[in-house]
Chains A and B, each alone.
Chain A
Amino acid sequence: MFPAAFDYQSPATLDEALGLLAERGDDAKVMAGGQSLIPLLKLRFAQPQLIVDIGRIPGMTEIKRDDGHVKIGALARHVDIERSKELAKLLPVMVEAVRWISDPLVRNRGTLVGSVCHADPSGDWGSIMLALDAELVARSAKGERVIPIDGFFEGPFTTTLRSDEIATEIRIPLPTGRAGGSYHKLERRVGDFATVAVSLQIELDGNKVKKAGIGLTSVGATNIKAKKAEQALVGHELKDDVIAESAKLAAEAAEPKDDIRGTAAYKKDVVRVFVQRGLKAALGRAQEVKA
């Protein structure tokens, strides 16, 4: 298989890339790791006239801590997250989750920001970013804007990013105090997309939950932020009845379909079970953190 013909540019600076998109954005596609885009081009599900390869733009591979955030550049690959000592310390849930994404070869090319922009409802990073309340930084020739991840996904493979914009980094607020997260994924075989996956993050104030994040993968038209299930936790101790109520609300927020990976009813139940397990795991981890 090979793609339909296209023009290819690999600009050396961000400004040059933004200039190309300002002119031809509607006919163009940005390429980062290409691990979702190239398969789509080969199947001819995407036939852009121009590919703007941002892979050679310097300064976008960083993962760094910066006033209350971790910033992850557009070219930081899955493998960079897997090996990041900083993230293992600050947001271990990301390092745990990345090992569930595809296989080592795809992780050597694919990027977190690319995954989020791709907006596959079965993608893992989207729900992790929803649980962590991340923000995306988007640049165009006209300037920069910061987009909260909640509301960024509009539908399968569609986001609020404009065709003249490049997402330059994602910012994740650092949890304060005692916090913990976990990621639970059901897949049919190593490297497969999720049948169901659930991302959890909690922050404690004493024994009570101060902040909670719950993101759902593969159970709707987009990655879903289970807000009612999050709210059911805030202000409470994580006792069994509180956990059960939140898990029930998360299952209600899921909108899965019957497919080869399972029935809708089964997937909803997996959400419920994963939220229960995940909250207990996240609580255990939060309690290990010294205040």
Chain B
Amino acid sequence: MRVNGAERSGDVEPRVLLVDFLRTNLALTGTHVGCDTTSCGACTVLLDGEPVKSCTLLAVQVDGREIKTVEGLANGAALAPIQVGFHEEHGLQCGFCTPGMMLVASALLERNPNPTDDEIRWAISGNICRCTGYMNIVKAVQYAAKMHSEAAKAPAAAAVAGGGE
């Protein structure tokens, strides 16, 4: 499977869950285990771009497919907009739910770059935060949405400036 853009492989029993493969075999411990019963979303990863619960997926089901975990969000030292948003808007306290929240939010922004607060709440409704509260998480996602739309405008503005010379 491809994980965060790199080809990764391993020989596992069919009963190994994706979350255990990521954490144990690949040492990607940013994907958390909360409830282990498909209820909390701490184990969220993106499968071919869509958020899913990796505690309810077998590693073998993902053979040949594309996984993104929280470790794949940043580009080297540069934080992704969603990470900047969580930082700026105090979208986390203990951080346990945060990888899942950020992945769900980044998939939402991919499909819907200008979500309403309601759409954000709807998108994160499978992810439970037990300490920050959802207000700041929603604000963090809005912050990232604004960063995205400003980044999208910037090159166009630069081109106009360039053309004016």
Contacts and interface: CB of A to CB of B under 8 A. Distances in A.
A190 B125 contact: yes
B15 A105 contact: no
A105 B127 CA distance: 9
A35 B56 contact: yes
B61 A106 contact: no
Given A6-B14, A106-B38, A34 B60 contact: no
A38 interface: yes
Interface stretch (B45-53, B70-78, B135-143): B45-53
Given A106-B53, A109-B56, A42 B61 contact: no
Interface residues of B, number: 29
Interface string A1-13: 1111111101000
Contacts of B127: 105
A17 to B, nearest CB: 15
A109 B57 CA distance: 9
Interface residues of A, number: 28
A38 B123 contact: no
A39 B51 contact: no
B79 interface: no
Interface of B: 13-17, 20, 36-39, 41, 44, 47, 50-53, 56-58, 60-61, 63, 104, 122-123, 125-127
19 contacts: A2-B17, A2-B20, A3-B15, A5-B13, A10-B60, A34-B57, A38-B58, A39-B56, A42-B17, A53-B60, A102-B126, A103-B125, A105-B51, A105-B52, A105-B53, A105-B126, A105-B127, A109-B52, A109-B56
